Structure 1
Amino acid sequence: MSTTKKGDELEIAVFNFLKEEIESNRFPVKKEFCRLHRQKGYFSRDRGSHIFFDVSVEVWLPDAEDYSMLFLFECKNYGHAVPVNDAEEFYVKALQVGATGTKPILVSTNALQSGALNFCSSKRIGVMRYFSKEDLKWVLRRSASVGFAPSDSQSDAEIMAGLTLTDYHSSVFELFMQSPIRRTNSLAEFLHDLAFLSIEDRNLANDISNPLPRRGSIVRYLSVGELECRASAALCEAGINSSYVDLSELCSRLPAAKEIRIEHRPATESSVLQNTLARISFNPPLIEIFTEPNSHAGRDRFTLAHELGHFLLGHGAYLKGEQYDDTDQPEAGKTIDGDNDVRRLEYQANYFAACLLMPRDRFIEVFSAQLHRFDVRNKELGVLYVDSQKCNLDTYFSVTNRLMTVFGASRAAISIRLAGLGLLRDVRDDLAGT
Structure 2
Amino acid sequence: MNSTSKGDRLEDAFYHYLLDQQDRGELIFGAYPPENCRIYRKKAYYCREREADVEFDVVLELYRKGRDTPHLYVIFECKNHEASISEVYVNDFSSKIGRIFPHAVKGVMVVTSRLQAGAEKVARNARMGIVKYDEQGLEIIADRRGSCFEHSFVRSQIFRSANSAKSLKFSAYHDGEYFSSIDRFLGSLEPELVDGIRPENGGGSLPVPYLSIEQIKAAAGKILKFADYESGAVDLVKVCQSLSIDLQFADRAVLDADGVAILGSANFGRKAIEINSHSRETRERFTIAHEIGHFCLNHERYLRSETIIERDLFVTREKDGSFNYERLEYQANAFSAELLLPDAVFLKKTAHFRRDLEMRDRGHGYIFVDDQPGNSATYDELLSRLSTHFEVSKQAIEVKLKKSKMLTDQRKRNEASPISRVFAGLISSRKS
TM-score above 0.5, yes or no: yes
Residue 111 (structure 2) pairs with residue 108 (structure 1) = yes
**Distance in 1 separating the partners of 2:151 and 2:234:** 39
- For residue 279 of structure 1, the aligned residue among 260, 264, 267 is 264
Q: Is the 8 A contact 2:240 2:247 kept in 1?
A: no
Partner of 2:9: 9
TM-score by length of 2: 0.63
**Cross-structure match for 2:378:** none
Moved more, 278-287 or 2-11: 278-287
Equivalences for 1:401-420 in 2 at 5 Å?
403=406, 410=420, 413=423, 416-417=426-427
CA-to-partner distance for each residue in 1:233-280, whole Å, 9 max, x for gaps? 4444666667xx5335x7669962899879899x99999x99979535
Unmatched tracts of structure 2, length 5 or more: 351-360, 366-398, 409-418
- For residues 37-83 of structure 1, the C-alpha deviation after alignment (integer angstroms, 9 at most, x for no partner) is 22222222322333221122222223435322211111122233322
Residues 39 and 278 (structure 1 numbering): CA distance in 2 closer, same or farther, change over 3 Å? closer
Report deviation, 1:225.
Answer: 5.8
* Structure 1 residues 27-426: aligned runs within 5 Å: 27-28=27-28, 29-31=31-33, 32-133=35-136, 136=137, 139=138, 143-144=139-140, 146=142, 150-156=146-152, 159-160=155-156, 162-164=158-160, 171-196=166-191, 205-206=192-193, 211=197, 227-236=216-225, 246-247=233-234, 256=242, 278-280=263-265, 285=273, 287=275, 290-291=278-279, 305-310=289-294, 320=305, 322-329=307-314, 331-332=316-317, 334=318, 342=325, 345-357=328-340, 359=342, 400=403, 403=406, 410=420, 413=423, 416-417=426-427
Q: Closer, same or farther in 2 for the Cα pair 1:351/1:47, shift >3 Å?
A: same
What does residue 24 of structure 1 align with?
A: 24
In 2, are the aligned partners of 1:124 and 1:179 still within 8 Å (CA)? Answer: yes
Q: Which structure: greater helix fraction?
A: 1
Shift in CA distance, 170/45, structure 1 to aligned 2, threshold 3 Å = same
Distance (Å, rounded) in 2 between the aligned partners of 1:263 and 1:20: 25
Check the 8 A contact 1:144/1:172 in 2, yes or no. no
Question: Match for 1:322: what amino acid?
Answer: T
The CA distance in 2 between the partners of 1:56 and 1:50, in whole Å, is 15
- Give the Cα–Cα distance (whole angstroms) in 2 for the partners of residues 44 and 398 of structure 1: 72
Residues 359 and 101 of structure 1: is their aligned pair in 2 closer, same or farther, counting only changes over 3 Å?
Answer: same
After superposition, the Cα gap between the structure-2 partners of 1:48 and 1:279, relative to the gap in structure 1 and judged at 3 Å, is closer
Q: Deviations over 1:145-201 (max 9, x none)?
A: 856965444444862563336x986524123322123233343333222222xxxxx
Which amino acid letter does the alignment assign opposite residue 32 of structure 2? Answer: K
- Distance between the aligned counterparts of 1:47 and 1:329, measured in 2? 55
- Paired residues in the alignment total 367
Distance 1:218 1:45, change over 3 A: same
2:370 aligns with none
SS in 2 for 1:57: strand
Q: Deviations over 1:88-141 (max 9, x none)?
A: 1211211122222111111122222221221111111112222221xx3xx4xx
C-alpha distance 359-76 of structure 1, shift in aligned 2 (>3 A): closer
Secondary structure class of the residue paired with 2:159: helix
Q: Counterpart of 2:264 in structure 1: which amino acid? A: R
Following the alignment from structure 2 to structure 1, what is the Cα–Cα distance between the partners of residues 262 and 61? 46
- Give yes or no for contact 2:273–2:291 (8 Å, CA) kept in 1: no
2:386 maps to none
Cα distance, 1:222 vs structure 2: 7.7
**Is the 8 Å Cα contact of residues 127 and 177 (structure 1) preserved in structure 2?**
yes
Query: Counterparts of 1:57 and 1:415 in 2: how far apart (Å)?
Result: 47
- Given that 2:129 and 2:175 are in contact with CA atoms closer than 8 Å, whether structure 1 keeps it comes out as yes
Using the TM superposition, give the Cα deviation of residue 291 of structure 1 relative to its aligned residue in structure 2, in angstroms. 4.7
| Contact kept in structure 2, 1:59 and 1:67, CA below 8 Å | yes
Give the Cα–Cα distance (whole angstroms) in 2 for the partners of residues 20 and 238 of structure 1. Answer: 35
Residue 176 of structure 1: SS of its match in structure 2?
Answer: strand
Q: Assess, with a 3 A threshold, how the Cα gap between structure 1 residues 275 and 227 changes in structure 2: closer, same or farther.
A: same
Over 3 Å counting, the alpha-carbon distance change for 1:363 and 1:91 in structure 2 is same
For 1:20, what is the secondary structure of its paired residue? helix
Question: Which deviates further from its counterpart, 66-75 or 217-226?
Answer: 217-226
Gaps of 5+ in 1: 197-204, 375-395, 423-434
| CA shift digits 1:376-408 (9 cap, x unpaired) | xxxxxxxxxxxxxxxxxxxx9996585369xxx
After TM superposition, the score normalised by the length of structure 1 is 0.63
AA partner of residue 48 (structure 1)? E
